[in-house]
Structure 1
Amino acid sequence: MTAKRDAEARIGISGWRYPGWRGAFYPTGLRQADELAYAAARMTSIELNGSFYSLQRPASWARWRDGTPDGFVFAVKGPRFVTHVKRLRDVDAPLANFFASGVLDLGAKLGPLLWQLPPTLAFDPGLLDTFLGRLPRSRADAAALAAGHDERMEGRSSFSAGADAPLRHAVEVRHPSFEAQAEAWGSLLARHGAASVTADTAGTYPRLDLTTAEFAYARLHGEEELYASGYDDAALDRWATWARAHLDAGRDAYLYFDNDIKVRAPFDAMALIDRLPRPRALGPAASA
């Protein structure tokens, strides 16, 4: 009988390629090509957000996989073409293209998939139920979906399932109607096994702290100023308590800092990592 794996806290940053971080977080003279490895040695996960803006190439996914330590995990942000342009409607081909772009090539380093909805998209249970029902639940399901990609992906696709494993999905919402319909939204997510993202946005968007899946997901955009302000010791202690509550309940906890403007994100992430157990699959952290 296989022993049950202990729940893990995975903590990191949302993206890693920021010019303003050079000379502040990244040492002066560090090659841009080495920034991911430098950040990954100090984080336990990174939220990969380039996939939100455009479809990536298979070679990029493979490079990110091979440029990070064994046991590392990426969260992957789903494309805005699905969430913001198509607004979750008629998304079969865009979803197929996304999964055909090489995301499955991350292999064991593929963590949760994040779907961030636009502030103008209100709670629509029928639309959301249909969208969540289209999301693949396993690597095999994703590979089967990717096989239906359109002609734009010819010659630039890669979607071998590899060793099959479940896929996790998390949804971040920004329209106030989700707060008003929190109970219905939570029930809908739970029915699909998707996590509700707990988003700290300095009061700009709703903060829903719902437990709807076997894992928890938080995005920390800034406590007082969106994308800019940092987290002091008391705030970090509160988020550590939030994570421990999920770990104690057997749920993995993923937390990503997106307060990048003033170069607070990587330092806040490292400070939170120091407050929580490090995943066993990773070796000791590099020095700051």
Structure 2
Amino acid sequence: MIRVGTSGFSYQHWRGVFYPEDIPQRCWLEFYAEHFDCVEINSSFYHLPDKATFISWRKRTPEKFLFILKGSRYVSHIKRLQDCADAVKLFYERAHLLEEKLGPVLWQLPPRFVVDPARLESFLSLLPTDTLPVLEFRDPGWFVQQIYQLLEARRAALCVHDMPKCNCPEIIIGPLLYLRFHGVGSKYSGNYNDETLRRYADWAGKSGARHIYAFFNNDSQGYAVGNAITLREMLKQTWKCRR
């Protein structure tokens, strides 16, 4: 299974670049869902959408569409995975309003967060078992065997990303491969060239991963859209070749 999309869909600067000028913003999600079968929701990192929003998203998208939510920064950045049981419970209560359209949940940890296996294990024990968690580490100290073993044991996946200075390894940990592309040259900007995307597609295709998710966070000038479409087609080709 291959799922490729963008990190967010509601960008004003995509009007006239991806979204036609004559389509009102209230119809952007439907238009997006005509071109992609999944989206990574960044806004849930900053604030928890209300119940009506989750229900609306579910009703306005096709049957097989998936939402990948980014976990609350209150949990990951402010509480730093401690004393957060109530916040985690509320987050997932809302998230489950998406029903069958809820995909994996991405938890991004902050930079300069010193590796703490016990804290991570305690946090993972709070999460519902019916939704797969993905961990994006921004401090290189987390990329160690002890953490990988913990993720495997808890059926959690490692996010492979290209954020500068993080030194994220290109390895598969957990039941799926999850890729995030944060930009070329500067964060959230730049256009990935075909050579770079081909390298990722070839690596992913040869990795043996049965489930691949990839999201582009370089929303500037709508580059994320074109890059996502290109990588999706490349992945489909590598997927066919390994069968």
TM range (shorter): over 0.9
Query: Could you say which residue in structure 1 is the equivalent of 2:133?
Result: 169
1:13-64 Cα distance to aligned partner (Å, 9 max, x none):
0001111111111111211011111112111211012211111111111111
1:53-111 Cα distance to aligned partner (Å, 9 max, x none):
1111111111111111221111111111100111100011101111222x112121111
1:28 aligns with 2:12: no
Query: Could you say which residue in structure 1 is the equivalent of 2:79?
Result: 86
Correspondence for 2:146 among 181, 184, 188:
184
What amino acid is aligned across from residue 128 of structure 2 in structure 1?
P
CA contact (8 A) 2:68 2:102 kept: yes
User: Which segment is superposed worse, 86-95 or 60-69?
Assistant: 60-69
What amino acid is aligned across from residue 65 of structure 1 in structure 2?
R
Query: Could you say which residue in structure 2 is the equivalent of 1:193?
Result: 155
CA contact (8 A) 2:110 2:137 kept: yes
CA displacement at 1:208 relative to structure 2: 2.5
Return the alpha-carbon distance in structure 1 between the equivalents of residues 62 and 200 of structure 2: 25
Aligned residues: 237
CA contact (8 A) 2:38 2:66 kept: yes
What amino acid is aligned across from residue 274 of structure 1 in structure 2?
E
Alpha-carbon RMSD across the aligned residues, in angstroms, is 1.5
Q: What runs of 5+ residues in structure 1 fail to find an aligned partner?
A: 1-7, 139-166, 279-288
Correspondence for 2:233 among 274, 278, 281:
274
Query: Could you say which residue in structure 2 is the equivalent of 1:51?
Result: 44
Return the alpha-carbon distance in structure 2 between the equivalents of residues 250 and 124 of structure 1: 28
Helix, strand or coil at the partner of 2:35:
coil
What amino acid is aligned across from residue 140 of structure 2 in structure 1?
P
Correspondence for 1:242 among 203, 210, 232:
203
Correspondence for 1:113 among 105, 109, 123:
105
TM-score (norm 2): 0.92
* Pairing of 1:1-288 with structure 2 (within 5 A): 8-101=1-94, 103-138=95-130, 167-179=131-143, 182-201=144-163, 203-246=164-207, 249-277=208-236
Return the alpha-carbon distance in structure 1 between the equivalents of residues 188 and 75 of structure 2: 23
CA contact (8 A) 1:186 1:210 kept: no
